[in-house]
Structure 1
Amino acid sequence: MCGITGAAWTAGQPPLDIDILRRMTTALAHRGPDDNGYYRSTDSSNASGDLSAAQPPGAALGHRRLSIIDLGGGHQPLSNEDGTVWIAFNGEIYNYRELQTDLEKRGHQFRTSCDTEVIVHLYEEYGPDCVTHLRGMFAFAIWDDRKKQLLLARDRLGQKPLVYRHDPQRLLFGSELKSLLQVPGLPRDIDPIALNEYLTYQYVPAPRCMLAGFQKLPAGHLAIYHNGELNVRRYWKPGYDQGELHGAGLDFSKPENAPAQEIREQLRTVLTEAVRLRMRSDVPLGAFLSGGVDSTIIVGLMQQLSERPVQTFSIGFPVKAFDERAYAREAAEHLGTEHHDAIVTPDALKILPQLIWQYDEPFSDSSAIPTMYLSEMTRQNVTVSLSGDGGDELFAGYDRYKAVRIAEWFDGLPRPLQKMATLKLWQHFPASVRQKSRRRRLKRLLAALGEPRERRYLKWVSIFDDQRRAALLTDDFRAAVGEADAAAPLLRAYEECPNRDFVTRTTCADVLTYLPGDILNKVDIASMTYGLECRSPFLDHHVAEFAASLPIHAKLRGRQGKRILLETFGDLLPESIQSRPKMGFGVPLDHWFRHELKPMLQETLLDGSALNRGYFRPTAVEQLVKEHLDGQWDHSYRLWSLLCLELWQRMFVDASTIPANAPATTV
């Protein structure tokens, strides 16, 4: 697990300055505290060192390393035997031993025992198609000095990030945006469409970045830069046939109709293998354990594969509604792990500056805060931690999938009854101030029933839905957004899965949008802030492909999601955990804004510079703040989104330079 950065340029262009490359790499030091390295093709090809001479196309690679495998031999950037192929790699390849054995039979010779060198030889053997042989999480850059070509690639489900900027004669790339912003003179203009999407989703969906001209390489994509042209293409996607693009992919096109017992046996086999591969490590290893179904299953399989108690970690908060420690302890006792937990009192004033700096873009999933605290605690004991991420999306665990099913029943009613319900029923349902109250959720469900299915789902999950954004945005900013539809990222994802029931299509859409854009981004940044590698067995692409093939009744039955997980791994789950309600991993934002964060909220959002940026109507922002502070409405998620946006604007846009190191811990 590491940080990568660098550039490639066309013939006749000046090479990236070595001091700038060092600054770009230093900005990623938190991702790789153990080692750093640099490569420039100019340094090796121009023996005279005369950089004023006409230059061929070239590249520069920077790397920060978190040592996990082959602690002494994995220095990067790393090359093949003759120095014609160089790589900077972030991630883990779990099947590297098997790949190395095959490559050695083909005549390749290895100098190290690390997974990075395996990718280099795979590239020599298969070119860009090397990505289809990899089982793991990764983002990497390969410079082929013979072809004068740069290859960028990102793993199938988007566990590792990769951002880039393509200008006419140069390509910049890095694990995080702050690395690219170390290059002097780059414009930092807001992309209006990205801002509109951020207000909708609480993150900026790929491929956009909040800053115009920068992009994220989407999950399951690779990019080839040659002669100034950048060709981005997909190598893994849902619903394509076996063999196309040399892989199977997430096949949502047809459900598996095997007998239930056979499905359970296959699931147990494939997930156990995914856990076994992720336990390969030359450093101490443990697991997050919340006491939920997903993390308990992963820890249970780890314990069955381990000869000694697995180290497990959880945190809790003083507010009971946000404290899962009792469930985690029960799971740990049931499985026989060596459990560590702690209670923390989140200090938003202290952690906010670091949160804004680490996430590069406005990112307002407030569960990033406890994830950072958990990562910090876990890193004090181990360097690698397994998690249960992906279980909800792949196995229909979220409560909102039940709402989708209820809405499907509504869609089957005669049109007159549908019209009557949408016009009258929800309007007379009493409102609730609390954001997550059952009454408010029910009213939200009823209010959206008359809309098209895909847009109905977006309305349920939006922070600012269409109506609220229309009230918030200024006329000038709406004109800058133009005809762009904030629903477009979600609608495109739905189109990837056209032939299944709508609940399955919704889980597919979440796998392609919410999972990489929110969940995996949150975990990657929070864990790498403290140099902790986080591995997710549910996101093994073999597990994901198997989950995609299952019929919806295997996952969601009545009011119970994850049915196949409960039936397959019941021996690992205490009864209370099997039947417990799902608890979000969050913080008490509504309370904070009325108490500890009240001064910051008012001083930041109601400040003249914030109100006059031209994005939002000042009266609309003032109304949101007043309604929340007066207890008329819980706008905590919306206010958190606006607060994160304004603090990010001050740090990344208004500032004259972007620091290469984390800011002070007070605002």
Structure 2
Amino acid sequence: MCGIAGIFHPATPKPVDPARLVAMADAMAHRGPDGAGVWTAPGIGLAHRRLSIIDVAGSPQPMQDGDLVVSYNGEIYNYKALRAELAATGAMFRTDGDTEVLLHGWRKWGEGLLDRLTGMFAFALWDGTAQTLFLARDRFGVKPLHYAQLTDGSIAFASELKGLLAHPLLRREPDIRAVEDFMALGYVPDDACLITGVHKLPAGHFLPLRRGKPLTVPRQWWDIDFSRRARGSAADLADELLQRMRAAVTSRMVSDVPLGAFLSGGVDSSAVVALMAEASGQAVKTCTIGFNETDHDESAYAAQIAQRFATDHRARTVASDDFDLIGRLAAAFDEPFADASALATWQVCALARETVTVALSGDGADEALAGYRRYKFQAAEERARSLIPSALRRPLFGGLGRLWPKADWAPRPLRFKTTLLALADDGAEAYARSVGVTTPAIRGRLFSDAARRALGGHRAEERYVDAMRDAPARDAIDRAQYADIKHWLPGDILTKVDRTSMDVSLEAREPLLDHELVQFCASLPASMRLRRGEGKWLMKRALRRHLPDDILHRRKMGFVTPVSAWFRGPLADEAQRLARSPTLADTGWFDMPAIERLAADHRAGRAEHGRTLWQLAMLDRSLVRLFP
């Protein structure tokens, strides 16, 4: 895995200072500790930091072939097949890695190269003949790419925001809309950035920049499609699903450096380990993080799978109140990131890096096969909505919801206020709120009058509503999954894994996000993804011969971090400090007495605001770094 950066002068071929490129790349040295390179020509410069995985001794970057130069971050899993195809048409390869495939593939197929790639990637390719800089990002957004137009008219890009921040001409002005997005969702989504003028190339998009032409908008080259349905019996489709999973896992085991897997003991990581063990001639290296609180600890399940498949297993128990990593996480993510499971994800990445350089994860199956519990609730609510006309449903459920007392402490099925208000809305609006962290009502109380005016009606949930209404889909579950793949997956899950793994110079691979596998899952009848309230139904059926029932059907836990308990215990002082934070106060965005009341209510147990306090804590730390 690597870090890339570059500068392009679209108007005139002004010289690019190599020192600036070095500074941008060195800000991301953790992404590539094994090598560095810079290439410049009139009006263009590319930089690279390398984590050596394939062709360790060769394939330096930026890599040049005649008038083509590329700086690339990622892995192309089908590169050997593409090399053979290109070589058969006369391409001459000088290296043994996957990078050179991009150069010869561009010369042969142009933009059509993207459709042929299987993998995770973000790359910048300069075509000197066409005087075009081509930026591209993989289908799901596994690998990041930020870009901005600077005050001198140049375009700068980098894998991480900190790479752009190393350029002195980047204006550091905050975008209040991104603050609304973060407070709603717990992350800054891929269509937003906390720094005005900085953009993230969307997943499945490319951006062509041509000399002498104005800055264009990204163009979509791939999208998931839930509108088609596969035909066949459950048994036949389960067999096909397993075969596709097997192929995806095997293709991601190619590596010239030590390789292993994260093993939580859940269905997804256990499935990956099972298929790795089947394909490997030696013991698979696995690792897991356990917690010192039984309610949060899954290490016994991981040990069960490790024993079943005779893996070379390592486990480490950490304190569930290990919040000393907050500062390091703020530095790793740049923008505020409030998914508290990032703490545990960083810890398992650090443990893995002690023995391997590449680790396979089970990420992606929940989005592809309706594994989250919220899909179950969404399906049930949609059935209820269909029984009552909207003209009656909205006043009936809306009135009851407004009268019903809040019960933040209760499990969701017993939080009738939330359910009633959801039933009063249409499915897209209700789902958009369900994936959020801080509700619109609480955000309204926390934001100052000036902030609300500056937002000008911008609403974080609207992107979810738009995605669900425009989705290529047949039913409610299709639409919810589509919206999550467009927003939650790249903005939260993949950002979390990329930043935590790269912070310790580890490459993480997600075989269950193989694009052909995910498209097959999207074509399955909804009842084979979610049946009788159980998500990933067909996947569990397909794995019955590989995994025991107590792994397949146990309640999903995930990397739970008890932030609510922290803010009533060891972080109680932190909650009080937030209400007096000069950083938050100086923005003018917040009603500081409202933060103080929110913190006091949480500490006293009168309300549940732990996740909102965590958001404010992460925002506070990020603002200090971004706007010193």
Tell me the SS of whatever aligns to 1:350. Answer: coil
Equivalent in the alignment of 1:205:
189
| Contact 2:397–2:421 under 8 Å retained in 1 | yes
Unaligned runs of 5+ in 1: 43-57, 239-249, 656-667
Equivalent in the alignment of 1:135:
118
Equivalent in the alignment of 1:375:
349
Q: How far has the Cα of 1:498 moved from its partner? A: 4.7
1:589-600 equivalent positions in 2, closer than 5 A: 589-600=563-574
Equivalent in the alignment of 2:480:
506
Letter matched to residue 56 of structure 2: L
CA displacement, residues 103-160 of structure 1 (integer Å, 9 cap, x when unaligned): 0011010110010011111011112221111100000001112222111000001100
Equivalent in the alignment of 2:6:
6
User: In the alignment, does 2:104 pair up with 1:104?
Assistant: no
Distance 1:119-1:605 versus aligned 2 partners, 3 A rule: farther
| Contact 2:263–2:273 under 8 Å retained in 1 | yes
Distance 1:471-1:630 versus aligned 2 partners, 3 A rule: same
| Contact 2:428–2:469 under 8 Å retained in 1 | no
Q: How far has the Cα of 1:194 moved from its partner? A: 1.5
1:514-663 equivalent positions in 2, closer than 5 A: 514-653=488-627, 655=628
CA distance in 1, matches of 2:57, 2:274: 32
CA distance in 2, matches of 1:107, 1:136: 24
Q: How far has the Cα of 1:578 moved from its partner? A: 1.6
Letter matched to residue 217 of structure 2: V
Q: How far has the Cα of 1:601 moved from its partner? A: 3.1
Equivalent in the alignment of 1:328:
302
CA distance in 2, matches of 1:148, 1:495: 39
CA distance in 2, matches of 1:267, 1:577: 19
Q: How far has the Cα of 1:192 moved from its partner? A: 1.6
Letter matched to residue 504 of structure 2: Y
In the superposition, the TM-score normalised over structure 1's length comes to: 0.90
Equivalent in the alignment of 1:37:
37
Tell me the SS of whatever aligns to 2:545. Answer: helix
- Match for 2:133 among 122, 127, 150? 150
CA displacement, residues 44-92 of structure 1 (integer Å, 9 cap, x when unaligned): xxxxxxxxxxxxxx21111110000000002111111x3x111110000
How many residues are paired up? 625
| Contact 2:321–2:566 under 8 Å retained in 1 | no
Equivalent in the alignment of 1:214:
198
Equivalent in the alignment of 2:464:
490
| Contact 1:433–1:632 under 8 Å retained in 2 | no
Distance 1:612-1:573 versus aligned 2 partners, 3 A rule: same
Q: How far has the Cα of 1:392 moved from its partner? A: 0.3
User: In the alignment, does 2:227 pair up with 1:262?
Assistant: no
- Match for 2:47 among 24, 43, 62? 62
- Match for 1:360 among 331, 334, 348? 334
- Match for 1:176 among 140, 155, 160? 160
Q: How far has the Cα of 1:480 moved from its partner? A: 0.9
Q: How far has the Cα of 1:427 moved from its partner? A: 5.9
Tell me the SS of whatever aligns to 1:449. Answer: helix
1:59-458 equivalent positions in 2, closer than 5 A: 59-80=44-65, 82=66, 84-167=67-150, 169-226=153-210, 227-238=212-223, 250-345=224-319, 348=322, 350-415=324-389, 418=393, 422-423=397-398, 426=401, 431-434=406-409, 437-438=411-412, 441-458=415-432
Aligned residues with identical type, % of pairs:
39
1:455-470 equivalent positions in 2, closer than 5 A: 455-470=429-444
Q: How far has the Cα of 1:265 moved from its partner? A: 2.0
Distance 1:440-1:3 versus aligned 2 partners, 3 A rule: farther
Q: How far has the Cα of 1:12 moved from its partner? A: 3.8
- Match for 2:450 among 476, 479, 483? 476
CA displacement, residues 405-464 of structure 1 (integer Å, 9 cap, x when unaligned): 110121122348745751565567664453x73466454223321012111111212112
CA distance in 1, matches of 2:542, 2:415: 31
RMSD: 1.8
Distance 1:439-1:134 versus aligned 2 partners, 3 A rule: closer
CA distance in 1, matches of 2:89, 2:170: 45
| Contact 1:138–1:159 under 8 Å retained in 2 | yes
CA distance in 1, matches of 2:107, 2:71: 15
Equivalent in the alignment of 1:52:
none
| Contact 1:69–1:115 under 8 Å retained in 2 | yes
CA distance in 2, matches of 1:300, 1:614: 53
Equivalent in the alignment of 1:247:
none
| Contact 1:132–1:235 under 8 Å retained in 2 | no
Distance 1:499-1:288 versus aligned 2 partners, 3 A rule: closer
CA displacement, residues 466-517 of structure 1 (integer Å, 9 cap, x when unaligned): 2222222111111111132322321232134254111111011111110111
CA displacement, residues 373-416 of structure 1 (integer Å, 9 cap, x when unaligned): 01000000111111110000100100000100110121122348
Distance 1:471-1:11 versus aligned 2 partners, 3 A rule: closer
| Contact 1:430–1:439 under 8 Å retained in 2 | no
Letter matched to residue 180 of structure 1: L
| Contact 2:225–2:472 under 8 Å retained in 1 | no
Unaligned runs of 5+ in 2: none
CA distance in 1, matches of 2:285, 2:12: 54
| Contact 2:408–2:415 under 8 Å retained in 1 | no
Letter matched to residue 69 of structure 1: I
Letter matched to residue 36 of structure 1: A
Tell me the SS of whatever aligns to 1:409. Answer: helix
Q: How far has the Cα of 1:635 moved from its partner? A: 0.7
